[in-house]
Amino acid sequence: MPPEADERDRTFVVSLTVNGDERGGLAGARTTLADFLRHELGLTGTHVGCEHGVCGACTIILNGAAVRSCLLLAVQAAGATVETVEGLAPDGELNPLQQAFHTHHAVQCGFCTSGFLMSITAALRDGPVRTEAEARELMSGNICRCTGYAGMIVAALESSEALEATGEVAQ
């Protein structure tokens, strides 16, 4: 039986871990995780483009996996561990992947950038990315209208190589 209208309009307290901090806020039953992060928690680095799972701009890491936060409800993330682009540079200093984006001019308007950074970060934790084809594959869920992808591919490969050399995992 479908929920009653007043059930759909209820507001919930959502508590979760975001970038290592315990956070909480109010979310309607139909509030997306993207909107919750941006409007309730003030984490506006997560961008919203298409709002239906196509562009990848809203990509975050949820319990270790890159996901589209426009396709999740905030209430579904209760108790989860979430990472957003703000967590890549907690002290305001670019991490190696972000620095590589800067070095290789992988940013133009920047609207897509946080989504790419989170997709690449999640992928590099799973293992190295050694070829252009692999880099293109891992970025295939993210759309950029400006850069032509070339700089992002170089940045991903360079970051992967650096991580492999040091035995580190993408932060």
Half-sphere exposure of 94 (CA within 13 A, CB side): 11
Return d(Cα 83, Cα 81) in angstroms, integer: 7
Q: What is the pattern of x (binds ligand FES, CB under 6 A) and - over residues 34-53?
A: --------------xxxx-x
Is there binding between residue 120 and ligand FES (CB under 6 A)?
A: no
Nearer of residues 12 and 111 to ligand FES, judged by Cβ: 111
Is there binding between residue 109 and ligand FES (CB under 6 A)?
A: yes
Nearer of residues 36 and 163 to ligand FES, judged by Cβ: 36
Return d(Cα 163, Cα 157) in angstroms, integer: 10
Q: Nearest approach, Cβ of 134 to ligand FES (angstroms)? A: 20
Nearer of residues 35 and 163 to ligand FES, judged by Cβ: 35
Strands 81-83 and 11-18: parallel
Return d(Cα 103, Cα 115) in angstroms, integer: 18
Helix (H, G, I), strand (E, B) or coil at 16: strand
Is there binding between residue 145 and ligand FES (CB under 6 A)?
A: yes
* Helix H or strand E encompassing 68: strand 65-68
| Residues 163, 167, 115: CA angle, nearest 5 degrees | 35
Q: Which residue has the tokens 């700089």?
A: 151
Q: Nearest approach, Cβ of 56 to ligand FES (angstroms)? A: 5
Range in contact with ligand FES (rule: CB under 6 A) among 4-12, 18-26, 101-109, 158-166: 101-109
Q: Which of 44, 111, 136, 158 binds ligand FES (CB under 6 A)?
A: 111
For ligand FES, the binding residues (CB under 6 A) are: 48-51, 53-58, 68, 70, 107-112, 144-147
